[in-house]
Structure 1
Amino acid sequence: MAEKARFLIPYAIGRHEFHVLDGELNGEVDLLNKTCTCGVFQIIGILCAHALSRSLKRGVNFYSLGSDYYKIETWWPSYTKSIYPTGNEEELIVPHDIMTIKVRTPAQKSLVGRPKKKQGRPKKKRHPSNGDKLVVQCKCITCGGLGHNRATCKVRV
């Protein structure tokens, strides 16, 4: 986002408001209310390229402009409480209707569209008919082995 914001041109409208030209979707940003006309700033809570361009030019700490949901102080209290183990499975009291539920694997959905063809000729053993050439394996001149030639021979003389 910062890479894109470097090339945007912000024009000040007021102290905390400005207009940003990006060539496609120009944005009106208000840093005090944390809003932008593109909607990214309000929906996600992270600075959009329009807001980031102005904060980079002014030297404002853009981490302070983000939503509180992304700050450590917000997340830390949820991890301060202790989590106790449940104990032995046999000692747990589970209702009968939950115990009898069978969980199955999800049904596989059939793919949409024409099925893909396998590439190439099917590999079958067939008997040559009259007029067909029999494929003879090549023989190496160097070692006398079948299935390779002198150029691909792994035996060195």
Structure 2
Amino acid sequence: MPITVLIEFIKDMFQHWFHDWYEEAVKVTTPLNPWVAKLLSKRFNDAHHFVVKPINRGEFKVKDGKMDGLVNLSKKTCSCCEFQTDLLSCSHAIAAISKCNCEAIEFCADYYKTTVLVEGYSRSIEPVGHPSEWDIPPHVKQIIVLPPPWQGQVGRLRRKRIPSTG
């Protein structure tokens, strides 16, 4: 079976996936990806129990019972490192955001938003077409591709199985 059949199968598979994922993304009505909205909701519930003390306009000290977190909303950082690693508000940051009367969606990276999700799957994967229709330059047609050189393993072939010791 030639490699082109495999490539065609993979292309068809990606076309099918992209179409299905696009259809799912268009159905989403929330501004954030559904799993992100669920995660932020859980973090928001955890943040209700935290004690938030403002340091200045953009920095807050957040006590959660286990550790004291230092949140900087202007730099989007937290001492737990979740905020800057995921580019998504951690529970400490959500507590600080609530203290500022802001929305958590303002502090999320763009790639968590539904518009970016839809845009990512909106492009189509074009069919390649039949090889007779391809426009291949002459200098490419002259290139001969051979398989890599093969060397057999050193030593005599094992003809009998090795009996177990037990």
TM-score normalised per structure 2? 0.49
Q: Distance in 1 between matches of 2:108 and 2:146?
A: 48
1:18 lines up with 2:60 in the alignment: yes
Change (3 A) 1:21 1:86: same
Q: Give % identity.
A: 32
Which amino acid is 1:17 matched to? E
Q: Distance in 1 between matches of 2:102 and 2:121?
A: 31
Change (3 A) 1:7 1:87: same
Q: Distance in 1 between matches of 2:147 and 2:77?
A: 50
Change (3 A) 1:29 1:56: same
Superposition deviation, residue 2 in structure 1:
1.1
The partner residue of 1:56 within 93, 98, 103 is 98
Q: Distance in 2 between matches of 1:88 and 1:96?
A: 23
The partner residue of 2:85 within 43, 59, 68 is 43
Change (3 A) 1:76 1:97: farther
Aligned to 1:8: 50
Superposition deviation, residue 6 in structure 1:
0.6
SS at match of 1:10: strand
Q: Distance in 1 between matches of 2:60 and 2:79?
A: 11
Which amino acid is 1:47 matched to? S
Q: Distance in 1 between matches of 2:106 and 2:146?
A: 52
Q: Distance in 2 between matches of 1:13 and 1:86?
A: 59
The partner residue of 1:81 within 112, 123, 130 is 123
Equivalenced residues, count: 97
The structure carrying a bigger helix percent of its residues is: 2
Q: Distance in 2 between matches of 1:90 and 1:24?
A: 67
Superposition deviation, residue 72 in structure 1:
3.5
SS at match of 1:47: coil
RMSD of aligned Cα (Å): 2.8
Unaligned runs of 5+ in 1: 99-157
Superposition deviation, residue 37 in structure 1:
0.6
Superposition deviation, residue 83 in structure 1:
1.7
Unaligned runs of 5+ in 2: 1-42, 135-144, 149-166
